Amino acid sequence: MSMKSFPFNVWCYVSFTAGSFSQLNGKNLSHSSYVHMNHTPLNTRIVGGVDASEGSWPWQISLHSSNFGGHFCGGSLINNEWVLTAAHCLPGRTQQGVNANEISRNVTSIIVHNSYDRNTNNNDIALLQLSSAVTFNNYIRPVCLAAQNSVFPSGTSSWITGWGDVQSGVSLPSPGILQETMVPVVANDQCNTLLGSGSVTSNMMCAGLMEGGKDTCQGDSGGPMVSKQCSVWVQSGITSWGYGCADPNAPGVYTSVSQYQIWITNNIGQNLPGFVTFSPTSTCQSVSTTSPTSTTSPTTTKTTTTPKTSTTLRPATTTLSPNQGNSFSYSTVHTCTNILKWLVHPKMKIVITYSPFMSFQT
């Protein structure tokens, strides 16, 4: 996979100011780390969700725009210097301005999958690298990633989170608290029947209720979908696209993280995130990290069927739940599978911004 080159400056801010922190549009953004980037608003939030309590989802990231109303996409912290998000969140974004009250760090690179297809939404995955590492504590932690042999059968309980719209065209009201809800996995063959044959590739997965009512929406794009195996939270999906928000017989579609273990490993190189094999038959005796079994890139599935014209990606305008998660220990190889309770501190934030004139080089 080729790395995309962007001639811009990027800053990562970590703030410890008193009180709840606010987005630049004046709305409070509580209970999570967030990434800050300037971008035309695309608007997306969780539909049918509830406020996430403190102690939830310490890996949740917000991509943020100061020029166009604040939050526009989500992401997940996967180790101390990398963020995982959706490819469609990144092209054409610009950033101006710096918050003088926050500590700045440059982002050295943005890696968009070179087979990302904006027409079919296939390979909708990207990585952001920070130039200096985030310091983990009890409030900021990474999530484990689904390893390449993971299995998420139909019905698997999955948590989705974000600051996106609470229904189509309706923004999350102030104070803008992170939303969470649980949806079951829907098998790809059933999802293709519902959304159009061939529109859901093997690099995607679906989740949602057949009766509707719970879903990601505009502004949640790039955020994580996670499931709990024993005591470990594992990211199965990246919010990608869908038809409407929480409509009946229209599950949300997510990039399948397990398809990209090799791609992530090849691009990060060292200090790899923790990968966990998720399986419904796990005995919970132990959970271990895995290494990819091949150095080749994951298969890119092409489709000749055009998705419905009403397809909408899930970026936003202004986007689990127990308080246990996965801790990281750093050595030659680190793991995210140690059990640790933590709080997501409402006074702490991670913000990434990037500045003008991004250009892609192949």
As annotated, the active-site residues are 88, 124, 221
Give the other-Cβ count within 10 Å of 164's Cβ. 36
d(CA 204, CA 195) in angstroms, rounded, equals: 13
Q: What single-letter amino acid sits at 177?
A: I
Give the other-Cβ count within 10 Å of 187's Cβ. 16
Q: Which two tokens stand for residue 59?
A: 């890996």
Distance of CA 36 to the CA centre of its chain: 14
d(CA 245, CA 218) in angstroms, rounded, equals: 8
Give the residue among 119, 131, 124, 121 at the shortest CA–CA distance from 12.
131
d(CA 225, CA 181) in angstroms, rounded, equals: 10
Contact 267, 127 (CB under 8 A): yes
CA geometry: angle 44, 359, 113, nearest 5 deg: 60
Q: What is the DSSP letter of 208?
A: -
d(CA 183, CA 157) in angstroms, rounded, equals: 6
How would you label 45-68 residue by residue, b for 16+ Cβ within 10 Å and e otherwise? bbbbbeebbbbbbbbbbbbbbbeb
DSSP string, 256-302: EGGGGHHHHHHHH-SSPPPEE---TT--SS---B---S-SSPPP---
d(CA 42, CA 113) in angstroms, rounded, equals: 21
Specify the length of the chain in residues.
Answer: 362
